């Protein structure tokens, strides 16, 4: 049943560009004393237990994830989440925020509220509901197709139920306004040492920030860094590949951290950063080259899709990245 199976994962595989389970089991993985990582709700979630309360970084894809994260935080620390830092507006990082208690202070970059208001719904329509609706229509047809075997129809029905459930959950994600925003950097005291929030300009999108835990040498990069997946550039959300590369260069030079918690994927050492920067630099150079040779858009995209260095999970989002880079290069041309 390859057709049904491939359709079944459409809705899930586009959740932030990575396979996301709809109802995952949540576990807190201890990175250091009082610092925990939760990996399977979409983007990587961190929470830090300080005497004044708990600071969480990102909060899952849908309110249901947020609810279960809050339970996990209470169970692990015996405390309420006092601060919730959002690395950026994408639903796979911020979609769970609605389920946090009203007393939790959400913190983000100044431009998050604009992206939430203007870009969250179009982004979800494009990446989730469009493909999801097409998958559901296809599965409905398969489930009713008398020419298929009983088992094939049953598989289609199961996939249909999963996709319909996922669509309802994604529909419960709504734009939000952060309680506290900053422009360049912000230090938050919450227990031992400080947490530093950094904005180094647009990259993955306009409002992406990073969160440094100096006492642990740990940096949560949001989607500036992905481990084991192809990065996605959100052009309409204000992303910039040129600045993204420059941010990666700045991070390589920055002291005070030894481990990265990427937006998605396993914790990384500093070495992983250089490899990512090299790939992004190559990507920019290759698209620049195609433009300088006046290769038409569709042909250039096709040529780029043959590049083996882009053969990573989440490649289904590459056409969006390609368009964003193409338009960014158009904009800087005289
Ligand atoms: Zn993102």
Q: Give distance in angstroms: CA of 244 to centre of ligand 1.
A: 13
Cβ–Cβ < 8 Å for 212, 195: yes
Other beta carbons within 10 Å of 145: 12
Residue 151 Cα to ligand 1 middle (Å):
38
Residue 116 has pLDDT above 90, yes or no: yes
Kindly give the distance from the C-alpha atom of residue 177 to the centroid of ligand 1, in angstroms, as a whole number: 17
**Centroid of ligand 1 to alpha carbon of 79 (angstroms):** 28
pLDDT value at residue 192: 56
Question: How much distance in Å is there from the Cα of 224 to the middle of ligand 1?
Answer: 8
Other C-beta atoms within 10 Å of 219: how many? 26
The two tokens of residue 27 are: 């576990």
Residues 6+ apart with CB under 8 A from 235: 320, 323, 324, 325, 327, 328
Cα 207 to ligand 1 centre (Å):
10
CA–CA distance from 128 to each of 135, 238, 270, 292 (Å)? Answer: 10, 20, 33, 34
State pLDDT tens for residues 166-213. Answer: 888 899 999 999 999 999 999 887 655 689 999 999 999 999 999 999
Q: What is the pLDDT of residues 298-323, one digit of tens each?
A: 999 999 999 999 999 889 899 999 99
State the architecture of 1-271 in CATH terms. 4-Layer Sandwich (3.60)
Range list for CATH 3.60.15.10 in the chain: 1-271
178 C-alpha to center of ligand 1: Å? Answer: 17
How far is the centre of ligand 1, averaged over its atoms, from the C-alpha of 111 (Å)?
14
Report d(CA 15, CA 18) in Å as an integer.
6
Give dist(CA 211, CA 44) in Å, integer.
12
What pLDDT shows up at residue 3? Answer: 38
207 in Cβ contact with 112 (< 8 Å): yes
Q: Is the pLDDT of residue 111 over 60?
A: yes
State residue 165's pLDDT score: 86
CA of 159 from ligand 1 middle (Å) equals 26
- Give dist(CA 25, CA 301) in Å, integer: 38
Q: What is the pTM (predicted TM-score) of this model?
A: 0.91
Query: What pLDDT digit, counting tens, does each position of 37-73 carry?
Result: 999 888 999 999 976 789 999 999 999 999 999 999 9
Measured in Å, residue 204 CA sits from the centre of ligand 1 at 7
The 3-class SS string of 270-302 reads CHHHHHHHHHHHHHHHHHHHHHHCCCCHHHHHH
Residue 101 in this model has a pLDDT that exceeds 70: yes
Distance 88 CA to ligand 1 centre (A): 7
- Please, which pLDDT band fits residue 7 given cuts at 50, 70 and 90? very low
What is the distance, to the nearest Å, from the Cα of residue 207 to the centroid of all Cα atoms in its chain?
Answer: 13
């Amino acid at each position: 049943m390859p057709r049904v199976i491939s359709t079944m994962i459409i809705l899930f595989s586009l959740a932030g560009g990575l396979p996301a389970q709809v109802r995952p089991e949540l576990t807190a993985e201890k990175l250091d004393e009082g610092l925990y990582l939760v990996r399977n709700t979409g983007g990587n979630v961190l929470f830090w237990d300080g005497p004044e309360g708990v600071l969480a970084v990102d909060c899952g894809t849908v309110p249901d994830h947020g609810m279960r994260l809050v339970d996990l935080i209470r169970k692990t620390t015996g405390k309420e989440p006092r601060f919730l830092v959002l690395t950026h507006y994408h639903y796979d990082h911020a979609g769970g925020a609605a389920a946090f208690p009203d007393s939790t202070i959400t913190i983000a970059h100044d431009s998050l509220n604009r992206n939430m208001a203007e870009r969250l719904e179009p982004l979800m329509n494009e990446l989730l509901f469009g493909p999801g609706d097409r998958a559901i229509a296809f599965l409905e047809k398969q489930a009713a197709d008398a020419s298929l075997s009983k088992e094939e129809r049953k598989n289609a029905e199961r996939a249909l139920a999963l996709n319909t459930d996922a669509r309802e959950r994604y529909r419960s994600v709504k734009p939000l306004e952060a309680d506290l925003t900053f422009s360049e950097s912000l230090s938050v005291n919450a227990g031992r040492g400080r947490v530093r929030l950094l904005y180094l300009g647009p990259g993955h999108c306009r409002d992406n920030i990073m969160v440094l835990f100096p006492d642990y040498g740990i940096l949560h990069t949001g989607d500036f860094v992905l481990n084991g997946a192809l990065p996605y550039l959100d052009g309409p959300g204000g992303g910039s590949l040129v600045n993204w590369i420059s941010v990666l260069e700045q991070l390589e030079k920055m002291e005070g951290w030894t481990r990265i918690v990427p937006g998605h994927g396993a914790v990384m050492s500093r070495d992983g950063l250089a490899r990512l920067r090299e790939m992004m630099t190559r990507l920019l150079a290759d698209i620049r080259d195609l433009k300088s040779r006046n290769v038409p858009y569709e042909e250039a995209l096709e040529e780029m899709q043959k590049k083996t260095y882009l053969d990573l999970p989440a490649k289904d989002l590459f056409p969006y990245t390609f368009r964003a880079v193409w338009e960014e290069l158009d904009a800087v041309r005289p």
